[in-house]
Structure 1
Amino acid sequence: MHHHGHSHANDDEGHHHPVASRKQMLWAVILTGSFMLVEVVGGLISGSLALLADAGHMLTDAAALLLAFYAMTLSAKPADSQRTFGYGRLQVLAAYTNGIFLIGLTIWIVWESIQRFYEPNPIQSATMLVVATLGLIVNIVVFKILHSASGTNINVRSAMLHVLGDLLGSVGAIAAALIIWQWGILWVDPLLSIFVSVLILRSAYHVIKDSSHILLEGKPQELDTQQIHNDLMALDGVVDIHHMHLWSISEQEPLMTFHALIKDDYPGDDMIDVMLELLRVKHGLTHATIQVERSNCVENTEAVACIDTATNPK
């Protein structure tokens, strides 16, 4: 006879995002998208490829933020018959996609920069300086908006990294504009672009690493599998803990399933309650599914057959 225990204390919690952070994300999308157009115009007027490259960067920013906003909106949808875990993982998928985008963007910036070393083009430094300064202000505002909404959300964090790269790009563009204005050294522009690319690449690596870990059903970083196993084994009446699986839907939603072999004279339901309480209090795990087995279970590869002698004396 099998006993199954489920604890779903916070089934809904992981799927809901404060409306505030969705609003913040929308503001970030609007600001970034609007300023991108300003940069395109500024880049064309001043002849600065740096501004056009930055506009291209802002385009991917706007796309990243839009993707993040869309994922946030969708992941708040409740679970349905097709998606029994809900849509929480969409955010992780969006973060992963953003990371890939960032790598593509970096390659493009480096390529463009190398071209510009060989063929520097004349630049109206004053226009470039004005647009780059405005860009810095917009990026700081967007970064602050996202920073207050990031918390433990990998999706918002990946969007924030886009903006951080852009913010550094604006600082670089301002410095380049000043150097070009003062000394007419055109190669400083591509040099700064390459420096920003390296920073973007580092961010992208971490976003891809964290999100792919979740997508591959990796163990949540903050949980210690061995410690959880030891704590469960230390409980009175527990003989063995096996088939243990730990994973997460999104960063905020760790899940666990395992089989617990318990002594015959311990009531299954009580043992389930004790184990769930331990997981909740000591490890912060509020969603666990436990299968209780008896010491006279016959296990083979097909199934686990348990004979509960107390209720089935034959």
Structure 2
Amino acid sequence: MRTGNRQMKSLLFMISLNLACSTVEFAIGLFTGRIGLVSDAFHLALGSGLLTFSLFAMAASQRKPDHVYTYGFQRLNVLSAFTNTVFLLFMSFSLTVEALHAFIEDESEHKHYLVVSAVTNLMVNLNGVWFFRNYARINLVYKKAEDMNYHSICLHVVADSIRCVGLIWTFWLLSLGVNNAEALCMGLVSCSVFMLVMPVFKASGGVLLQMAPPNIPSSALTKYWEQISCLKDVTQVSEARFWEVVPGHVVGSLLLEGKQGMDDGAIVEYVHGLYGDLGINDFTVQTDYI
């Protein structure tokens, strides 16, 4: 951590604050018999665990490639981003269930004590929002794998801040005598978190599933496929595969089948020039003859 960058040190500080708050909240919940405080403490502890994994991904991704991990460890940042978004989607689902339960049972008046915890957690989360404020936009263009991880961390603390604001808003509406205040507020928070997280969930999941890079139009790939197929002595183009190892590092491969005596050197150079214009960093062309 002494050699870590500013984001790593900021994240470590935020994790420490979260763990301190969850420990105090858990102890108070056990002492007073408030199940809501104990549950919220476990939520904070789980969130801290995921942020700790994000911190580990930041540190481990700086290691150089070796003979086993030939592409290096940058994909840990993508995995961390995906894990964060899965947790937030689960939180969105649990808030929906909580809202439905509050609407049916109307037990919200028994949870006023959570407002103190919500205010405390909000103060901690606002520190995290400030640390990662440069990654607060919903649709962010990822130039590096670290950007995706930083973005997911920022959305993590933003989503938890929205949850805290929802609890505070619930308390205020209940004090005004508004019926079904908890169901209304938690429902809105659930929808907000879901819409906030889905872009990162799709982006990180797409990288892990080796989908075609979103920054390369499919029309361009189809166009170049047709151009190569029309080349002299080329009989078939197949197994065209393009994916991102990490954001900013696109890999591609192509199989060309041609006639005997085909000038494969010139054709391969031409193909590399075409796909190089699309920003593909690592491209392999395999030739075969019939």
TM-score range, shorter chain: 0.7 to 0.9
State TM-score, norm by structure 2. 0.73
Amino acid at match of 1:168: I
Shift of 1:85: 2.4
Q: Bigger radius of gyration, 1 or 2?
A: 1
Normalised TM-score (structure 1)? 0.68
1:45-84 residue CA offsets vs partner (Å, 9 max, x unmatched): 9998776665444333322222222223223322233322
2:169 equivalent to 1:175: yes
- Number of aligned residue pairs: 272
Higher relative contact order (CA 8 A, sep 6+): 1
Q: CA contact under 8 A between 2:81 and 2:153: conserved in structure 1?
A: yes
Q: Give the aligned partner of residue 310 of structure 1.
A: none
Query: Does residue 159 of the first structure (1) align with residue 147 of the second (2)?
Result: no
- Kindly indicate whether residue 103 of structure 2 is the aligned counterpart of residue 118 of structure 1: no
More helix per residue:
2
Change (3 A) 1:177 1:218: same
**CA distance in structure 1 between the aligned counterparts of 2:224 and 2:28, rounded to whole angstroms:** 62
Deviation at 1:107, TM superposition (A): 3.7
Do 1:24 and 1:145's aligned partners in 2 also have CA atoms closer than 8 Å?
A: yes
Where do 1:149-298 residues align within 5 Å? 152=142, 153-180=147-174, 182-183=175-176, 187-231=180-224, 234=227, 238-239=231-232, 240=234, 241-260=237-256, 266=263, 268=265, 271-280=267-276, 282-293=277-288, 297-298=289-290
Q: Select between 221-230 and 145-154 the one with higher mean Cα deviation.
A: 145-154
Secondary structure, in 3 states, of the residue corresponding to 1:283? coil
Shift in Å at residue 277 of structure 1?
4.1
Q: Which residue of 2 aligns with 1:7?
A: none
Give percent identity, aligned residues only: 22
The answer to whether the 8 A contact 1:71-1:91 is kept is yes
| Offset of residue 260 of structure 1 | 4.1
Is the partner of 1:77 in helix, strand or coil? coil
Instruction: Give per-residue Cα distances to partners, 1:81-139, cap 9 Å, x unaligned.
Output: 332222233333333333333333334334444444433454566xx555433433322
Q: Distance in 2 between matches of 1:55 and 1:162?
A: 16
SS at match of 2:19: helix
Name the stretch that deviates more: 69-78 or 270-279.
270-279
Classify the secondary structure of the residue corresponding to 1:100: helix
The RMSD of aligned alpha carbons is: 3.7
Q: Return closer, same or farther for 1:291/1:115 CA change in 2, 3 Å cut-off.
A: closer
Alpha carbons of structure 1 residues 124 and 220: separation in structure 2 relative to 1, 3 Å? closer
Question: Do the aligned residues in 2 keep the contact of 1:146 with 1:156 (CA within 8 Å)?
Answer: yes
Mark the CA change 1:207 to 1:57 in structure 2 (over 3 Å): closer, same or farther: farther
